[in-house]
Structure 1
Amino acid sequence: MTEYQVFELPNGIRIAHRQVTHTKIVHCGIMLDIGSRDEKPHQVGLAHFWEHMAFKGTKKRKSYHIINRLESVGGELNAYTTKEKVCFYASVLDRHFDKSVELLADITFQSIFPEKQVEKERGVILEEMSMYLDAPEDAIQDEFDEVLFPNHTLGNNILGTPKSVKSFKREDLQDFIAENMNTEKIIFSVVGNITFAKAKRIAEKYLSDVPATNKQQIRVKPDLYIPQKLSISKSINQAHVAIGRDAFDLHDKKRFPFFTLINLLGGPGMNSRFNLSLREKFGLVYNIDANFTSYTDSGFLGIYFATDKSNLNRAIKLVDKEMQNLREKTLGEVQLRSVKEQLMGQLAMSEESNQGYMMVMAKSLLDLGYVDSLQDIFEVIQNITAKEIQDLANEMLLPEQMSMLTYLPSES
């Protein structure tokens, strides 16, 4: 497996490539540095609406032809929207690579947003909203963003609001793209058994004619964080809880040590401190996790779990106790080594996903200008000390600095 290579087209679009020789599948995608945080107040949800509408018609294809183009050869075409990115991507047998690049370029840059399709997709997205609202474990995480980032676009729901989605017109999509499109902040990312020369040649074939644009985003950093507590009554069976606070941005040197701390506390391993306590020892939850998300200028820590209402206070106290233990007790040498080994193993396994690496490569180049090698990350992790972790616990895991959003079962 080779390390990544990068080539820039005259219009500023960069091609990022990594050859993997043991696979017949190519994963490729076009990632744009445009997300829901770039929306104006009347545009909330528009980046996600664009993601949907890109599949609904281009200058030379109708919706059916877009959907069928790769599906008919066993491939997949998809897209997603985050707070800071929109990505259109495909996975195909390597012999259909040319076909996938042509289609991705078509839906990304040549969509026409037919009015009838706008009306139809509006209904689809409203149903998507209802689906999330019916799932409290999803809804609480979206609503917690607003608690952590009030009156800021990072706090907005990526899907938008029913009111905003009902208001969108074809012209709104065109305006949003025109206001934010910057070809210098677009990455075409490829991972598979394709040579760099072939990736360059095909990317030039379909992407070099994209007009160069240089719309400069002005992203406003969130205001000073103020902890908040909020409780909402809902027609649900369990109490759902989100606990967290602001955290480090992508450029902060404390990011990796803090990620290590949070992985120990509530990462995906069944041996996380939270899981061992709240599930394995006391049986109060089915699942509990903690995650740390970084943005270009901010970040947040989020802890999520659900429990019977009668166990709510006890569960919250146990969460506080585990954070207190990390503040007061320094990890021993064996514990620290185990924490590092677990994290490095998890990261190595995640890199085994070629599709995942394709996306990571694009995002890293947009946000940082480079892609850390696994070995570079391992070196950073190996140099983390027990004192760093304890110091971060005392800086970041203070109860009085935590916000909390709780969904409580209604009495009825």
Structure 2
Amino acid sequence: MIQLQAQKVLRSLFQQQKQNFSIKRTFYDFIYRDDKSTPQYQATHADPRIPLKTHTSETIDELPLQYQQTKLQNGITVVTEQQTFPSQVDVGILLDVGTRDENTETSGALLSIKNTYLKTCLNTNETVNYGIVQQSGGSFEMEYDQETSYFKANCLAHDFVDVFSMVADCALEPRSAVASSVAIEKNQNTHKLDAYLKTGELFNEYVFKTAYGFQGLGLPLKGLKGNVKNLNSFVLQKFQLQNIAPHKIYVCASGVEHHEEFVELVQSKLGNIAVGNQESQHVREKSEYQGGEVRNLTEESQTVLALLFQSANWKSNNLFAFNLAKVLLQNLRLRKNVLNKHSFVDNAESLNFHFTDSGLFGLKLQGSSDKSRQLLDLSIAELKGLANNISQDELNIAKNHLKNQILNAMERQTDRLEESARNFRTFGKVLHTQYSELIDQVTTDQVQKCCSLGFK
């Protein structure tokens, strides 16, 4: 009996050992066996609290910023920023086309393009474009203002060619019927959402319309509400054909190793864009400052009041004087003289806008409707205060604050690249590296003279 029991136990142990043994698994274990002498194995299995004996650190020095520019034969400007430190690659396409180039027929065209900027149909489609962005681990977006449109993206270096091709397609491909149909609904919903959220953009539209009339800079950023439903593919393609030309295209990149290779990439993708017939292209009209007064009666318990006057354009010597005046108001005087002293004032901010041939400067106050007259008196008093009395200490504080804002922004590669492209568009060279020096050159008399322009 005992002998029979022992035979059963031995038989079961032998069967288990036979089942656990596998020639295939043994072969895989042999060929994929880790070599414990390799640095990779030691690094992954080492105690993280103890430094590796065989590990040596490698340092990379940050290089000074260098910019290179090349103009293609058809007029496209290519700008690169040398890689200063290993990071992501940024790419952007700046178009010298803004809402001031729209008219009553095409008003809202840029809003339509923004709402469907991923929708292409010639080389790729929206699904493919979205997948490229997601799989690259980067981002892609479009923004526009009164004078420019900017398509910007970032990614890792090995995805750069695909991402650049996608950005170029989204920025320059003619709008299709599908894209325009989807955009019409999105445009209408955009206006409904703005009216519901009360973002303040409607108030700014009244400001620009009062200053420049119902044309050019006076047209709303998001188009005329009654016209967005008329923006079919024919209207959008007509707007693109009349306004987008090679000499208005600025292609920029940061983080690329060789400028010449990027120029070849741009040439292969955009070199076939024809210059076109100059007579058929839209010519941007010079803005004319009109000024005036506009009052909108509402049933709300608060009054929003803005007081502005014409200031400087981008190339003016007074550019930084007005920016310092904005900082003086926003960060010093409005808080000290208005918000801390008058309880009926709920919000106060300074306004400063610059364009190619004009500009606006002033302030905006928001407070109780029964104190509307006091709001106006406070606005006039603050502007007169800037025109008559600015101490050197105040100006130094404003200079340090403005330089701190600029330097912090220029530390971000994405923002620095965009500013570089806008510098080439406006000045023909990179100027943001000299911003601090230009700010230091501004005097109190210069700021006071600039602020006194509103009272002449």
Aligned counterpart in structure 2 of residue 219 of structure 1, from 243, 260, 284: 284
Cα distance in 1 for partners of 2:311, 2:277 equals 30
Equivalent-residue separation in structure 2 for 1:168 and 1:339 (angstroms): 45
Partner of 1:316 in structure 2?
A: 376
| Partner of residue 102, structure 2 | 39
Question: Residue type of the partner of 1:231?
Answer: N
Matched residue of 1:387: which SS? helix
Aligned to 2:34: none
Q: Is the 8 A contact 1:239 1:307 kept in 2?
A: yes
Distance in 2 (alpha carbons) for counterparts of 1:238 and 1:207: 52
By relative contact order (CA 8 Å, sep 6+), the higher-ranking structure is 1
Instruction: Determine the C-alpha separation between the residues in 2 that align with 1:70 and 1:35.
Output: 25
The answer for the alignment partner of 1:410 in structure 2 is: none
Aligned match of 1:382: 440
Aligned to 1:306: 366
Aligned partner letter, 1:128: T
- Of 338, 345, 362, which aligns to 1:278? 338
| Residue among 217, 224, 241 paired with 1:154 | 217
Structure 2 residue matching 1:190: 3-state secondary structure: strand
Contact 1:67 1:77 in 2 (8 A): no
- Counterpart selection for 2:147 from 74, 77, 84: 84
What secondary structure sits across from 1:230 in the alignment?
A: coil
In 1, Cα distance between equivalents of 2:118 and 2:362 = 33
Which residue is equivalent to 2:418?
359
Runs of 5+ consecutive residues of structure 2 not aligned to the other structure: 1-63
Q: Matched residues in 2 for 1:11 and 1:161: separation?
A: 34
Asked if the contact 1:289/1:304 (under 8 Å) is kept, the reply is yes
> Which residue in the other structure is 1:262 paired with?
326
Q: Identify the match of residue 101 of structure 1 among 154, 161, 164.
A: 164
1:246 alignment partner, one of 298, 307, 310: 310
Q: Does structure 1 residue 346 correspond to structure 2 residue 405?
A: yes
What residue is the counterpart of 1:408 in the other structure?
A: none
Q: Counterparts of 1:71 and 1:276 in 2: how far apart (Å)? A: 47
Normalised by the length of structure 2, the TM-score is 0.79
- Of 229, 232, 239, which residue of structure 2 is paired with 1:169? 232
Q: CA deviation at 1:355?
A: 1.4
Root-mean-square deviation (CA, aligned residues, Å) is 2.3
Question: Which residue among 292, 298, 304 is the counterpart of 1:233?
Answer: 298
Q: Which amino acid aligns with 2:285?
A: V
CA distance in 2, matches of 1:41, 1:48: 14
Which one has a larger percent strand, Structure 1 or Structure 2?
A: 1
AA in 2 matched with 1:340: K
CA distance 1:99–1:319, shift in 2 (3 Å): same
- The letter for the 1-side match of 2:449 is D
SS of the equivalent of 1:278 reads: helix
The partner residue of 1:368 within 416, 427, 438 is 427
Q: Deviation per CA, 1:186-223: give whole Å up to 9, x if none.
A: 10111235443443343233222333346454222233
- The answer for the alignment partner of 1:123 in structure 2 is 185
Q: Retained in 1: the 8 A contact 2:67–2:80?
A: yes
Distance 1:49 1:164, change over 3 A: same
Q: 1:291 to 1:20 in 2, by over 3 A?
A: farther
Supply the AA of the counterpart residue of 2:351. N
1:285: how far off? 4.4
Q: Give the Cα separation in 1 of the matches to 2:391 and 2:179.
A: 60
1:326 is aligned to 2:389: no
2:361 corresponds to 1:297: no
CA distance in 2, matches of 1:95, 1:285: 54
Contact 1:94/1:194 (8 A) holds in 2: no
Inter-partner Cα distance in structure 1 for 2:332 and 2:277: 45
SS in 1 for 2:112: helix
- Measured in 1, the distance between the counterparts of 2:276 and 2:419 equals 24
Q: Secondary structure at the match of 1:72?
A: helix
- How far residue 182 of structure 1 moved from its aligned partner, in angstroms, is 1.4
How far does residue 302 in structure 1 lie from its aligned partner after superposition? 4.4
Note if 1:395 corresponds to 2:395: no
Specify the SS of the correspondent of 1:40: coil
CA distance, structure 2, for counterparts of residue 80 and residue 165 of structure 1: 18
Q: 1:283 to 1:23 in 2, by over 3 A?
A: farther
The yes-or-no answer on 1:132 pairing with 2:200 is no
Shift of 1:145: 1.2
SS at match of 2:298: strand
The CA deviation at 1:32 is 0.9
Percent identity, please: 19
How many residues end up aligned between the 2 structures? Answer: 390
Q: Given the superposition, is the C-alpha separation of residues 86 and 224 from structure 1 closer, same or farther in structure 2, using an over 3 Å criterion?
A: closer
Question: Residue deviations 1:364-397, cap 9 Å, x none?
Answer: 21222122143x222222222211112222223x
Q: Tell me by how many angstroms 1:102 deviates.
A: 0.8
In structure 1, the gaps of 5 or more residues are: 402-412
- The answer as to whether partners of 2:320 and 2:439 remain within 8 angstroms in 1 is yes
In the TM superposition, what is the alpha-carbon distance from 1:178 to its structure 2 partner?
1.2
Contact preservation (8 Å) 1:227, 1:245: no
For 1:146 and 1:302, how far apart are their aligned partners in 2? 16
- Tell me, in whole angstroms, the C-alpha distance in 1 between the residues paired with 2:282 and 2:311: 23
Distance 1:260 1:147 in 2: 25
Deviates more, 1:332-341 or 1:292-301: 332-341
Question: Shift of residue 103 of structure 1?
Answer: 0.5
CA distance, structure 2, for counterparts of residue 321 and residue 386 of structure 1: 18
Deviations 1:123-146 (A, max 9, x none): 111111122223152321122211
Tell me, yes or no, if the aligned pair for 1:31 and 1:85 is still in contact at 8 Å: yes
